[in-house]
Structure formats: structure tokens, C-alpha cells
Amino acid sequence: MPDIKFRVKRQDPGDNNNPEAHWEEYTVHYEGENLTVLEGLFYIQEKFDGSLSFRFCCRASVCGSCAMYINGAYRLACQTNVKHLDTDLITVAPMPHLPLVKDLVVNMDEFFAKYEYVMPWLVRHSPDPEKEIIQSPKERKKIDMPVDCILCGSCYSSCPSVWSLGASLGSKSEEYYLGPAALLKAYRFEVDSRDEGGKERIARWNNERGIYRCHTIMNCVEACPKELNPTEGIQWLKRAAVRRKLFRKAK
Amino acid sequence: MIHHDVIVVGGGLAGLRAAIEAKKAGVDVAVLSQVHPGRSHSGQAQGGINAALGNHPEGRDDNWEKHAFDTVKGGDFLVDQDCAVQMAKDAPGVIYEMDHWGCPFSRFDDGTIAQRPFGGAGFPRCCYGADKTGHYLLHTLVEQAYRLQVKMYVEQYAAGLIVHDGVCQGVVAYDMIHGGFEAFTANAVVIATGGAGRTYSNTTNSLISTGSGMFMAYYAGVPLKDMEFVQFHPTGLYTTQILMTEGARGEGGYLINDKGERFMEKYAPKFMELAPRDITARSIQIEIDEGRGIGGKGYVYLDLRHLGAEKILERLPGIRDLAIHFEGVDPIEEPIPVVPSQHYWMGGIDTDVNGATVMPGLYAAGECACVSVHGANRLGGNSLLETIVFGRRAGAEVVRYLGSLSDKRPNARTAFAAIQTMEQKVEELGARKGTENAYELRAVMTGVMKEHFFLFRDEPTMTAGLEKLLGVKARVKDINLRWTGSVFNVDMIRTMELEGMVDLALCVAMGALARQESRGAHYRTDFNTRDDVNWLKHTLAYYQPDAAGPRLDSKPVTLGHFELQERKY
Ligand SMILES: Cc1cc2nc3c(=O)[nH]c(=O)nc-3n(C[C@H](O)[C@H](O)[C@H](O)COP(=O)(O)OP(=O)(O)OC[C@H]3O[C@@H](n4cnc5c(N)ncnc54)[C@H](O)[C@@H]3O)c2cc1C
Ligand code: SF4
Ligand code: FES
């Protein structure tokens, strides 16, 4: 029955007595072989400190609620077994570079505003067929990777272009970089054989907020807990933009 | 105070589908959700969603009538047959619509939506997207909600209904991001808050599946129906109860005991591993109880190895990831240790086929509702279908209801009073001395549900369980809040909802004790057959402020399409 130390970054910006960030240590005790970081946080919240704030829902790595910065890397707290971190000190911090709500909870409004901006939905102009729109397994395969995104925000928080160009809230966000998750979503629809929105959507990602801000630093690929590759999607969009330009010129 | 014509509480599949329907009709609708809608429990669904599309080569003769019949039989004839027929008829249309909205279903070679066999179904009619069907459906509806500019209030926790003169006029909610309570007034409210699996300690459900919408309605006087019927899924992971979809068996996976036998042969020779869930789950438990669990321990194996790496990687990639991350087992190499686990809430807020409750202005859809299309046991793939079919129907019904109203102004005084009541409640919870610990009590309650109201039930066990629950209920009065801060107060939500969860547990317990028969998921060793003479009826549970448990009543089951018959597989 092991014990393990958790160092958790705490901050309640609304607490006038103690608005600054600070670290607190707790000893988490568990039975058996396995403990996820999320279970450790619940242990702390239940046993030691009711005021600890963190997001959770599925505890099965599919909802994207619990992305945090754990032992120096982006991870889903629910998917991270302390055993695999191979250490007796677990450090847990909120995703960096995003505005803080409290403790491990960051504000995701801007993240979702950018998601919405790229028109993340299937656009159709043709009348709907009576049954399904035919899509071959080969065409379906093209969206395999991007449809698995759980919008956890890890890639977004990890991207230097996002840091320098607009993760902060309240700024004139219309000018700022959309970030990897939103662009991956744009890619997801651009490569869907059923989508007919290319003409409208391209203006949303082929602009100064979009693909050209990506300098293929690839932090996003490293950060993604679902092992997705936003950079690959962005590169595809860049090539598509070039193709389109050439095509226009030729006409 | 914030006002919209319609407030939908819950951003899962049912809530979003209801909101989209209302929005398309031009109604001012808003969704209020405890988590971002895209993070709702629905996203965890894996296996698929049923509709008689006939895309599968072996499913060409399938049709809505057969789907309805399988549903009724699977539910051990406690299903309201007109509702099951309606659902099966609506099914193909709503699936095609999801496709037109971009849902990434898997495909057959001819480009049609792929379908796989699922438990209790005569044909392969379960439409799927790999083993992430819920995630794909949910994201598709989130996308449509953004497209249609449905207003979403994210991370708002609804804590109570606003009721004026017996009419529902909104909800009071805790704003998790900014702090404080706010009244959201409306002319109609749709509850779509999902199931109550977290009342059991061994559940596959999300951490927020606490039944909050059910007890909100219950406290407002709306009856809960068939609460004793709780589904236990045959295959949750041994240590975490994270689900291994029925699709794994649909793709050909075996259940194996310690002797290496495919033991389902004994219990359901025809359907084998694809018998309905109640039967399969009980069979596993018998194997375990009789000492044939693996190494004599409390689990059996789900064996996928013979499917081969290619099929596992293509059809069940999510299952593989979950087994690796959460159980340390790669299903390509090793069999997966599994146990029966609480999974689905058949009972819920009593509604008609359009989501209407007995309270004017109050509607419900999805897992929190009981229409009833699942009766005593839900078939896999029918619950995702229920969310979309009845979410849509509830949305349409709300629009019709709004059109029939002459006075559309909710009473402001009642709304303010509702906020004050909530604020006082929190203040009072914070000021209490708190001789009891909310989390210890929660653990006691969830443990009692697992020990006393699980797969096999009998009077002495349940009576003892009920006593313990009543003990918990008495002690809940002495819990307190440990932190009264305003922003993202996890302690407050988890403490406040404990009492409601205990009241839901009491509905299960008393309903189960009263029902002296075995039907579907409710299996009593002391009354081990179905009793259509005395018990072919729904249970209704009414809240009684002055008593510890509910007042029980009943209402007839709607028959008329299919003859009653013995359930054999
Ligand atoms: C692991 C798993 C796999 C499954 N697989 C399948 C499958 O393959 N096929 C199938 O048919 N069914 C499946 N099911 C069942 C199915 O997923 C659920 O029944 C269904 O998704 C419920 O959807 P819902 O919209 O009713 O509720 P949910 O998806 O649970 O959504 C509830 C919503 O309500 C909100 N909410 C809750 N309480 C409050 C509150 N107090 N205030 C504000 N908001 C609140 C939440 O934020 C959430 O948005 C599965 C279930 C599980 C557990
Ligand atoms: S791409 Fe990966 S890291 Fe980025 S939001 Fe999606 S799942 Fe998270
Ligand atoms: S709680 Fe859902 S991803 Fe961790």
C-alpha cells in the first residue's frame, strides 16, 4: 500500500488574502498497484482540501476535460498512471500560457472561440440524398486522424505561436493565431469527401490568423495526449492554399 | 436573471438534439451544461447506434418492425410498445441526418454506413464509427449547435427548478466560472442530464453521471418511473470498470472462464456472447460465484486475440487503448479481465413519447427520462438512438407547447425566491458543524448499491440494504461544506448532490423490494420468474418531503403490437 507525494500548483486569483500562485504538497495513499493522477486529485480534494479545483468528467481519456501539466509534460490526468511516471513526486500544474480560473482550471473561452471561427461543421450545398451520402472506406480513412481530437487544449497551450500571438483573454482576439486544434478541425472538414464548404471556409484559415503563423515547431505533436498530428493537418492546408492560388492563376 | 424561451439543461446528445430542433424552428433556446457539451458523457459511448438501415449483407431483410420487436422482447415486455415502434420508425431518418451533418461513421465497401451485430438483435443493425461512436455523434451535434448559433452556457450547474403555480418556469444554476447563483427563466425546460450510474461504486459512467436532473424533477413533484431497473454491463475492466464495448463481442470476441470454456454456451446457446446484457452479466457472475473466475478471482476474460491485430486496430482501436492504459493489457496479445458493472439507468423521469412530463413546461429526454423504450433491460445501441430520437421529439414538442401559450412571462418574484433559497441552502451547509463526512457517506451509499442491489436480489439482502440507505439518509443531514469559495467549487457540487443521489438510491431500493418478480435486469432469486399477472406494470415513485422514501404507485404498460412471450435466446 504505497504513498506518493503530489505537489500541486494552487492559485485563487479571486482570493484577496492570497491571490498569488503557490505550491502545496500532499501525501496520497493508495491501495493496489494503480493510481491515476486524477484519482490522486480526488483523494486530495476529499481528504485534505475541499477547495481544490480541477476539471473532470469521463475518467477514461475521451472527454478532454483533464488536460494538465504533469511532471513537465502535457497529459490527461485520468490517463496518467503514477506508476508510469517512475518517480515518487508528482507535480501537477494547470496548462501554462492560458488565463487561469483557479488552481488547475484554465479559461477555455478563447480556445473555443477560435474553434468556432474556422466553421467546424460540415457545409453542404447539394440537396441531401434520401439516405446517407456515399463515402468510400478510402475517403473515410482521410479523416481518421483529425476526428479523434477531444479538444483538450494541450496542443494549443504548448504552441509558441499561440503564446506570442494571443492566448490571453480580453485582448483583441480577432487578430490572433487560431492555434493547432482549430486548424486541425478545419483540416478535418476540408478532407471530408462529403464537405462542400471549401470556398467559404478557406477564408477562415488562409489568412493572417491562420496557417502562416505555424512555423512547424511541432510542440503540438509532442503535447497531444491522443497522439494526433495537428502539424500534418496544417501542412496539408498550406499545400491546399498554394494549389488553389496556382489553379486560380492558371485560369 | 437571464431569460430564454426554452432552457435545455444538459449538453449531451439528447440535450443538443432537442436544442437544435427548437432552434431550427426559430425559437430562442439556450443550453446550460455542467461541462462543455463536447465533454458530455455521451462522448464515452463506444459500440454504436441502432437503426434498421439494411446496409449489412446479412441485414437486408431488417426493418423497423423487427427492430421494435427486438426492443420489446429485450426489455422483457415492460416496454411501452407504441414508443418502441415510434423509435424504430424514426431511427433511419435521424441516422441519415447525422450523416448529412458530418458524423464520421465507419463505411462498408459500397460507401454506406457500416453496421455490426449487437446483443439481443436479430440482425446486424448497429451503426458505428470504429469504437468511438458516441464521441463522433456528440462532436457532430456540438458542431451543428455552433453552426446554428445555439446559445450555450458552459460550466453552469443546475441546482433546482423554478416552479410557479405548478408550471415549470426555469432553473437556478451555479456559475462555476464566475461564481454565484443565477436564475435562468424560461417558458419551457428540457431536462437532459443523463444517467445516475455514480450511485453505484462499480460503474462505467462518467464522474458527473449523478442523476441531478432526475432528483431536481423528483423534488418538484414529478414521478420517477421504473427506477428498480438498472443495467449491469457484462464487460467493465476489472480494476476501473471502464467499459469494453459490446461491439468487442459483436466483432467476434469470446467470454472465457478459468477452465478456458466459452461458458455462454450453457446460458444462451443460440445467441452465445451476444445474448442481452442482463443475461450475459448474470452468467458471468454465476461463473465467478461458482469459482470459475480466472484463477478463482472475481473476473473472467474477454478474449479478442483470435480476431487478429488488423481487425482490432481497425474496428476496436479505442478499446485497445483503454485496455492498455487502464488495465495494462494489450488485447492483441492477452485476454482482458472483465467484470459486470453498473452501466445504464433504464428508469427516470416519467415522460410520454414526446418528452412531456406531468408538469406543464417541463420536458425530459435521454438517459434521465423513462419513455419507456427500454423496459426492464435496454438493448445495446438503443440508448444513443433514444437520445437523438427523443431529444428531437422533445424539441419539436416544446415548440408546439410555446405556440399554445398565451401568457409567456415567467414570474420574476418566484425566480428571485428560487435564487435566495439556493443561496440560503449553501450558506446553511457552510455554517453547519458537520459531524459527518460527505465523501465517506458517498462511499457507503455507492457500496450499499453494489452489494445489495446488484445482479441478484432477494428480500433479506435488499431489506438490509434499505436499512443502510436509510441510515445514510439520516446522516446526510449532518454533512457540511468545507469550502464556501465562489469559483469552481467542486466541493459544493459534490456535497450538494449527495442527498439527491441518496434519494434516487432509495427509489431503486424500494422499487426493487416491492417488485416481487424477475424481469430483465431486475432478477430476484426469491421470485425468479416473470409475473405478468401482477407485475406487467410500471413503477412510479413520488417524492414525499415528510418521509424517508418515495410513495410508490404504478401505471399500465402499453401493449398492442406484439404478443407477450417467454424470453429465450
Ligand atoms: C461507457 C459507455 C458506453 C456506452 N456505449 C453506448 C453505445 O455504444 N450505444 C448506446 O446506444 N449507448 C451507449 N451508452 C449509453 C449512452 O452513452 C448514454 O445513455 C447516453 O449517451 C446518454 O446521453 P444523454 O444525452 O442522455 O446524457 P449525457 O451524455 O450524460 O449528458 C448529460 C449532460 O447533462 C449535463 N448535466 C448533468 N447534470 C447537470 C446539471 N445539474 N446542470 C447542468 N448540466 C448538467 C452534462 O454536462 C451533460 O452535458 C454507453 C454508456 C457508457 C457509460
Ligand atoms: S489535437 Fe490533440 S492536443 Fe490538440 S486539442 Fe485535439 S486532442 Fe488535444
Ligand atoms: S476526465 Fe475525460 S479526458 Fe480525463
Would you say residue B538 lies in a domain?
no
Mean pLDDT of A93-99: 95
Please say whether the dihedral angle defined by the alpha carbons of residues B232, B238, B242 and B246, taken in this order, is positive or negative: negative
Question: Is any Cβ of chain A less than 8 angstroms from the Cβ of B104?
Answer: yes
Q: Which of B40, B174, B368 to mutate to test the pocket of ligand 1 (most atoms within 8 A of CB)?
A: B40
Quote the minimal CA–CA distance from B47 to chain A in Å.
Answer: 14
Pick from B412, B443, B463: which residue ends a domain?
Answer: B412
- Quickly state the pLDDT bin for A124 (edges 50, 70, 90): very high
Positions of B marked catalytic? 277
Look at residue B568 in the predicted model and tell me its pLDDT: 83
| Residue pLDDT, tens place only, A40-52 | 999 999 999 999 9
CATH number of domain containing B225: 3.50.50.60
Question: Is any Cβ of chain B less than 8 angstroms from the Cβ of A102?
Answer: yes
The whole-angstrom separation of Cα A27 and Cα A5 is 5
Would you say residue B564 lies in a domain?
no
In this structure, the answer to whether residues B68 and B167 fall within a common structural domain is: yes
Q: Taking the mean position of all CA atoms in its chain, how far away is CA A95?
A: 10
Superfamily of domain A3-106: Beta-grasp domain (3.10.20.30)
Question: Is any Cβ of chain A less than 8 angstroms from the Cβ of B310?
Answer: no
Whether B34 is in the pocket of ligand 1, judged by its Cβ within 6 Å, is yes
Q: Is the pLDDT of residue A137 over 80?
A: yes
Domain segments of chain A: what residues? 3-106, 109-247
Q: Which residue has the higher pLDDT, B353 or A173?
A: B353
Would you say residue B479 lies in a domain?
yes
In this structure, the answer to whether residues B221 and B360 fall within a common structural domain is: yes
Whether B136 is in the pocket of ligand 1, judged by its Cβ within 6 Å, is no
Instruction: Pick from A16, A46, A52, A200 the residue to mutate for testing the B interface (most B CBs within 10 Å).
Output: A46
Mean pLDDT of B84-108: 98
Quote the minimal CA–CA distance from A249 to chain B in Å.
Answer: 32
| Residue pLDDT, tens place only, B482-497 | 888 889 999 999 999 9
Look at residue A37 in the predicted model and tell me its pLDDT: 97
* Residues B561 and B81 sit within 8 Å (Cβ to Cβ): yes
Would you say residue B90 lies in a domain?
yes
Look at residue A31 in the predicted model and tell me its pLDDT: 87
Would you call A125 exposed, middle or buried from its count of C-beta atoms within 10 A (0-12, 13-18, 19+)? exposed
Q: Which of B36, B96, B325 sits opposite A132 (nearest CB)?
A: B96
Name the closest-CA residue to atom 52, ligand 1: B45
Ligand 2 center–CA A229 separation, angstroms:
8
Closest CA to B474 of B510, B435, B447, B443: B435
| Residue pLDDT, tens place only, A156-191 | 999 999 987 655 554 555 668 999 999 999 999 999
The whole-angstrom separation of Cα B169 and Cα B178 is 24
Same fold, A3-106 and A109-247: no
Half-sphere exposure of B366 (CA within 13 A, CB side): 30
Q: Is the pLDDT of residue B57 over 80?
A: yes
Q: At what angle do helices B308-315 and B317-327 cross, to 10 degrees?
A: 100
CATH number of domain containing B267: 3.90.700.10
Three-state SS sequence of chain A: CCEEEEEEEECCCCCCCCCCCEEEEEEEECCCCCCEHHHHHHHHHHHCCCCCCCCCCCCCCCCCCCEEEECCEEEEHHHCEHHHHCCCEEEEECCCCCCEEECCEECCHHHHHHHHHCCCCCCCCCCCCCCCCCCCHHHHHCCCCHHHCCCCCHHHHHCHHHHHCCCCCCCCHHHCCCCHHHHHHHHHHHCCCCCCCHHHHHHHHCCCCCHHHCCCCCHHHHHCCCCCCHHHHHHHHHHHHHHHHHHHHHC
Instruction: Pick from B99, B311, B315 the residue to mutate for testing the A interface (most A CBs within 10 Å).
Output: B99
Percent with pLDDT over 70 in chain B: 100
**Which chain B residue has its CA at the smallest distance from A128's CA?**
B100
Domain count, chain B: 3
Would you say residue B168 lies in a domain?
yes
Q: At what angle do helices A180-190 and A198-205 cross, to 10 degrees?
A: 160
Ligand 2 center–CA A197 separation, angstroms:
23
**Which chain A residue has its CA at the smallest distance from B322's CA?**
A60
Q: Which of B99, B483, B487 sits opposite A50 (nearest CB)?
A: B483
- Quickly state the pLDDT bin for A95 (edges 50, 70, 90): very high
CATH number of domain containing B439: 1.20.58.100
The whole-angstrom separation of Cα B401 and Cα B200 is 37
Mean pLDDT of B177-189: 97
In this structure, the answer to whether residues B269 and B406 fall within a common structural domain is: no
- Give Cβ neighbours of residue B94 (< 8 Å, ≥ 6 apart): B51, B385, B388, B389, B392
What ligand 1 atom has the least distance to the C-alpha of B46? Answer: 8
Ligand nearest to the CA of A147: 2
Interface predicted TM-score (ipTM) of this complex, two decimals: 0.96
The whole-angstrom separation of Cα A227 and Cα A208 is 27
Would you say residue B547 lies in a domain?
no
Mean pLDDT of A80-91: 94
In this structure, the answer to whether residues B437 and B399 fall within a common structural domain is: no
The whole-angstrom separation of Cα B61 and Cα B84 is 19
In this structure, the answer to whether residues B294 and B317 fall within a common structural domain is: yes
Whether B250 is in the pocket of ligand 1, judged by its Cβ within 6 Å, is no
In this structure, the answer to whether residues B383 and B434 fall within a common structural domain is: no
Ligand 3 center–CA A55 separation, angstroms:
8
Mean pLDDT of B54-76: 96
Mean pLDDT of B423-452: 94
Look at residue A168 in the predicted model and tell me its pLDDT: 55
The overall average pLDDT reported for chain A is 93
In this structure, the answer to whether residues B289 and B169 fall within a common structural domain is: no
Q: How many contacts does A have with B, using Cβ atoms within 8 A? A: 158
| Residue pLDDT, tens place only, B232-266 | 999 999 999 999 998 899 999 999 999 999 999 99
Domain spanning A109-247: which CATH class is it, in words? mainly alpha
Q: Which of A51, A56, A65 sits opposite B485 (nearest CB)?
A: A51
Look at residue A244 in the predicted model and tell me its pLDDT: 83
Ligand 2 center–CA B206 separation, angstroms:
20
**Least confident window among B29-33, B132-136, B292-296, B481-485:** B481-485
Ligand 2 center–CA B531 separation, angstroms:
52
Question: Is any Cβ of chain A less than 8 angstroms from the Cβ of B443?
Answer: no
Beta carbons of B135 and A62 less than 8 Å apart: yes
The whole-angstrom separation of Cα B392 and Cα B17 is 5
Look at residue A246 in the predicted model and tell me its pLDDT: 73
Whole-number Cα distances in Å, B256 to A171, B1, B131, B408: 59, 58, 22, 60
Closest CA to B497 of B509, B489, B508: B489
Would you say residue B21 lies in a domain?
no
Q: At what angle do helices A230-250 and A198-205 cross, to 10 degrees?
A: 120
| Residue pLDDT, tens place only, B377-406 | 999 999 999 999 999 999 999 999 999 998
Domain span at B406: 2-16+30-189+208-229+346-412
CA dihedral A7, A12, A15, A21 (to 10 degrees): 60
Ligand 2 center–CA A181 separation, angstroms:
6
Look at residue A172 in the predicted model and tell me its pLDDT: 54
Whether B133 is in the pocket of ligand 1, judged by its Cβ within 6 Å, is yes
The whole-angstrom separation of Cα B231 and Cα B186 is 34
In this structure, the answer to whether residues B217 and B355 fall within a common structural domain is: yes
**Which chain B residue has its CA at the smallest distance from A114's CA?**
B146
In this structure, the answer to whether residues B49 and B137 fall within a common structural domain is: yes
Mean pLDDT of B103-108: 98
* Residues B201 and B190 sit within 8 Å (Cβ to Cβ): no
Q: Which residues of B touch A148 (CB under 8 A)?
A: 132, 135
Beta strand B2-3 with A105-106 is unpaired
Name the closest-CA residue to atom 8, ligand 2: A152
In this structure, the answer to whether residues B223 and B267 fall within a common structural domain is: no
In this structure, the answer to whether residues B291 and B242 fall within a common structural domain is: yes
Look at residue B119 in the predicted model and tell me its pLDDT: 87
